[in-house]
Structure 1
Amino acid sequence: MTTPPLYAAIAAHRFGLGEPKLDNVGDDPAGWLRKQIGPADAAVGGPFPTAVQALAAYSEQKVPVSALLEMRPASAPASTPSSAPAFTLREIVNEDLQSRMATALATRRPFAERLTLFWANHFSVSINKGPVRGLAGALEREAIRPNIAGKFETLLRQASMHAAMLRYLDNNGSLGPHSKAAERLARRTAGDKDKRRKVSTGLNENLAREIMELHSLGVAGGGGAYGPWGGYTQADVTAFAAVLTGWRAYDPPRSNQATTFDPHWHEPGPKTIMGKQYPEGPQALDLVIHDLATHPSTARFIATKLARHFVADEPPLPLVEKLAKTFNQTGGDLAAVYRTLIDAPEAWEAGPRKLKTPEEFAISSLRVLGTGDRHMAKVRESMGNLGQRPHTAPSPAGWPDQADEWLGPEAIWKRVEWAQRQAERFGDQIDARALARASLGPLLTDTTYQQIERAADARQALVLLLMSPEFQRR
């Protein structure tokens, strides 16, 4: 039978982000986790720009795009509210990255912070795409942190329709084929094919497809009893894209809201998605989001991702079924789903089941070392060297969450180099043997402890601790 100290170690590393002492968890690990369920901590640092202010900064620091399709609502201001403070894009990007790391290092609610990182990856955007620059941190602060333990429907609505997501997945340029803006475009480019080619507009399906495929129903809608594609087809994606026309994030912003609905870009008429008809206009969005968020395939898809993230690359089917059942019964109450996860015996099985991603490795290392935010500039720089710089995931699917993607020889060597740099900075100040026992407890094997104990010096001992199988996995 698993002993309480092992439960504490599992809570600290599998559910949390690593602790320098398992005493921090206490003698009720499950209770320690349950108390953390709720909105995430406020981000450390600031003052932070809102999405509106980030859009203003982007507008001021880029070459303006063609105004060919501009149809400014008469009642809306033509620029950002004058009260918005000035931020440079470089400052925003650096502050967002530093805050993300500093918050993870400082939090006393590491389970809640892990959930924040999980959902930030689920609703991934990348600042490598120019129009998103400056908005990734705002997405996390405005859409994800307040909503990680509410209804999934709210989280889906807020994250998928945030200015960062609209711009990342090209909804800004999605033009209803029969919209007023399309009619105006046709008139203004009549007989001028070269001019029309310069304006890259039309119905764009990127956001619709990813909301269905990556954010809710899943690439195959969960499969199994829920049917292939979760009941949706290519025609449903196209219809949903038509619903989404008109939802835009202008730069500079036209009001005090970063995301606005511009009826001139909206495709008129009703739309049919998965056999259900939705009306014309902005009200259709919330109706579609509700139906996607509460669909059985979404329950299955989210349950699978949570079980894979917290428990195993091949998640136990009974655990997936428990999580999906709770999701369905509660209408997507994420707090209830987390409690089901905590209460599931499958989540507490002994043995390191998950390889830490590079970001998880860096965060857990620095939390265990207790370095606080010292050398934060060097930490930010080193994240790129590890191969997982935050806010730069390679695709809308986010960073991979399975070990095979992070076990290549080059990737492992990057971890060794990173561990060596930390040992050079902190090794002489830390007793790696005592730290290994305090932070890993019963997870620490005799073999690893002997290797650390026989190290040539304190720095080598710390490298051996950080690169040990027990520390690299959770």
Structure 2
Amino acid sequence: MTFDSLRAATRFGTGLSPQLPPPDSVAAMLRPLRGRDETARRLPIAPYGEIRPSLAEWNVVARDWRKARGTPQEAAARTAFDKLRAAARAAAWHNFTSTLARGVIAPEGGLHERLTRFWADHFTVGSRTMRDRHLLTAYVEEAIRPHVAGRFEEMLVAVVTHPVMLAYLDQSRSVGPNSAAGRRGGGLNENLARELLELHTIGADGPYDQLDVRELAELLTGLGYNDQRGMEFRPERAEPGSETVLGVTFPNRAGFDTIREALRMLARHPATAGHLARKIAVHFVSEDPDPALVDALEAVWRDSDGDLLAVTTALLEHPAAWEAPPRKVKPPFDYVQSALRALGVPPETIMRPETGETRRLLQIPLARMGQRWEHPPGPEGWPEAAEAWITPPNLAERIDWAMRAPAALLPELPDPRAFARVAVGTAMPEPVAFAARAAESRAEAIGLVLASPAFQRR
């Protein structure tokens, strides 16, 4: 293996920084995964169980406002609702800017942040209403981030039983046809079962058919959530009898234990190892990864029962992970985050309160580049292909942002030649070096460096 500190920070992390040295070894890259999560401690994001307003609070205040319409209490109820909505919006903004800033301050290149983003995208969720939009990042903080160096099956259980995932894939609407509730009406919803098989575990080409989807959907009935209590098992909705999924029969159930058992079976299935080994290699290394790299990740996954720290270590220790040329294009969020890191923008600047100006600097550009914050196109998450991100309008927005944002974020721009060495590395292409020394202004020079293919690829 040929370790390269530049690629360590750019390919597997959140980029190079003028204040934080790049990692000097694989061991250094892994160090933040083994101990206390210092980045999260410095820039905390409340988990779902602690964030305010909660769903229960939202529903009570919204109900009171609806009931008060046309009565003398309407104005007070409306004021309370507006205050609640402002609190939810402030929480959502805090979550967004904290996630950005974490990548800027992350030590040893920022591998922990990249892994969190990767698995959050793998287990994509979205929001259809204002009442739960501020809860999406909290779901990542609670169900995904603590498990990125643990066992995949623990992450899978945490994700599938989380209220945000249950709401996103309509699991609370699913009723066993022969259950007590089913005999009174309602029907089976296969959304969660289908995405579990097709996306989250064994993959679209895995050894399953429609009968497996239905049997798994029946097995999952009873799994739901309450706005106040969170996830709960509802036996009156559970389909009675045994279910067979991928050839494994799960006997008549007595609560949540059978669901957990089925999820662990899916996590440990050989097809899951193959599906996710390839997905990891595609995301971090190449859209057409070396088969030897995929085989190595798959073998470690199988041998360790999905130990994600072992799989990540295998990725970083494989020569093919370092030898592939930098052809992956940074998605908009990663592009902006790595630019903020290269510029050394202080976290307190990134995390300024939401205004029209701060939204135009940080959030609106992401949507114009093609990646609206926490609005994925579907359960499959964001695309990997470079062509999805480098379209004429998206590229024009990247260039526009690169030319105007740095001067708006920093009181004084750095020397362009020094900045180019920080942003791209000492082995920068000559066109980048020329742009840094020959541009008419500092703002233009820095914009050209950030807009260069050398910075946008990893």
For residues 318 and 413 of structure 1, what CA distance do their matches in structure 2 show?
A: 37
CA distance in 2, matches of 1:10, 1:332: 25
1:192 matched to which residue of 2? none
The one-letter amino acid paired with 1:263 is P
For normalisation by structure 2, the TM-score amounts to 0.86
1:340 partnered with 2:314: yes
Aligned to 2:372: 389
Whether 1:204 and 2:180 are equivalent positions in the alignment is: no
Aligned residue number for residue 117 of structure 1: 117
Q: What CA RMSD, in Å, does the superposition of the two structures yield over aligned residues? A: 2.3
* 1:387 Cα deviation from its structure 2 partner: 2.6
User: For residue 96 of structure 2, what is the aligned residue in structure 1?
Assistant: 97
Q: Which letter does structure 1 place at the counterpart of 2:31?
A: K
- Unpaired runs of at least 5, structure 2: 65-83
User: Aligned-pair distance for 1:48?
Assistant: 5.5
Identify which of 259, 262, 276 aligns with 2:231.
259
Deviations 1:229-288 (A, max 9, x none): xx211001001001111111223x2x3xx1111111111111111122112332211111
| Range moving further from structure 2, 156-165 or 356-365 | 156-165
**Whole-angstrom distance in 1 between the partners of 2:61 and 2:101:** 27
Q: Please say if residues 161 and 231 of structure 2, whose CA atoms lie closer than 8 Å, have aligned partners that are also in contact.
A: yes
Deviation at 1:90, TM superposition (A): 2.3
> Match of 1:462, SS?
helix
Please tell me whether residue 449 in structure 1 is matched to residue 449 in structure 2. Answer: no
**Paired residues for 1:280-299 under 5 Å:** 280-281=252-253, 282-299=256-273
| CA shift for structure 1 position 36 | 3.0
Contact 1:386/1:418, CA 8 A, preserved across alignment: no
> What residue in structure 1 maps to residue 389 of structure 2?
406
Q: Secondary structure at the match of 1:133?
A: helix
**Amino acid aligned to 2:102:** T
Supply the distance in 2 between the matched residues of 1:143 and 1:326 (Cα, whole angstroms).
23
- 1:343-358 residue pairs with structure 2 within 5 A? 343-349=317-323, 351-358=325-332
1:404-443 to 2 correspondence within 5 Å? Answer: 404-425=387-408, 426=410, 428-443=412-427
Tell me by how many angstroms 1:389 deviates: 2.6
How many residues are treated as equivalent by the alignment? 421
Residue in 1 aligned with 2:199? 214
- Please give the residue correspondences for 1:265-280 in structure 2 after superposition, counting only pairs within 5 Å: 265-280=237-252
Per-residue deviation, 1:96: 2.2
Q: Secondary structure of the residue that 2:32 maps to in structure 1?
A: coil
Deviation by residue 1:25-52 (Cα, 9 ceiling, x = unmatched): 25x3323213233475426245565278
In the alignment, structure 1 residue 29 sits paired with structure 2 residue 22: no
Which of 268, 276, 285 is the matching residue for 1:311?
A: 285
- Residues in 1 aligned to 2:123 and 2:50: alpha-carbon distance in whole angstroms: 16
Structure 1: unaligned runs, 5 residues or longer: 65-85, 187-200, 222-230
Q: Which amino acid aligns with 1:17?
A: T
Percentage identity across aligned positions? 35
Cα contact 1:125–1:132 (8 A) shared by 2: no
Question: By how many angstroms is 1:437 displaced?
Answer: 1.3
**Contact 1:176 1:265 survives alignment (8 Å):** yes
CA distance in 1, matches of 2:232, 2:131: 16
Q: Is the CA contact (8 Å cut-off) linking 2:160 and 2:166 kept in structure 1?
A: yes
Counterpart residue identity of residue 42, structure 1 = A
Residue deviations 1:325-362 (CA, integer Å, cap 9, x gap)? 00001111111001101110011116313110000000
Contact 1:323–1:341 under 8 Å retained in 2: yes
Contact 2:135 2:164 in 1 (8 A): yes
The 5 A counterparts of 1:79-228 are 88-109=87-108, 110-128=110-128, 132-183=132-183, 185-186=184-185, 201-221=186-206
Give the distance between the partners of 2:310 and 2:338, measured in 1 at CA. Answer: 27
Specify the SS of the correspondent of 1:35. helix
Matching residue's letter, 1:414: E
TM-score w.r.t. structure 1 length?
Answer: 0.83
Distance (whole Å) between structure 1 residues aligned to residue 91 and residue 56 of structure 2: 12
What is residue 14 of structure 2 aligned with on the other side? 17
Q: For residue 382 of structure 1, report the CA deviation from its aligned partner.
A: 3.4
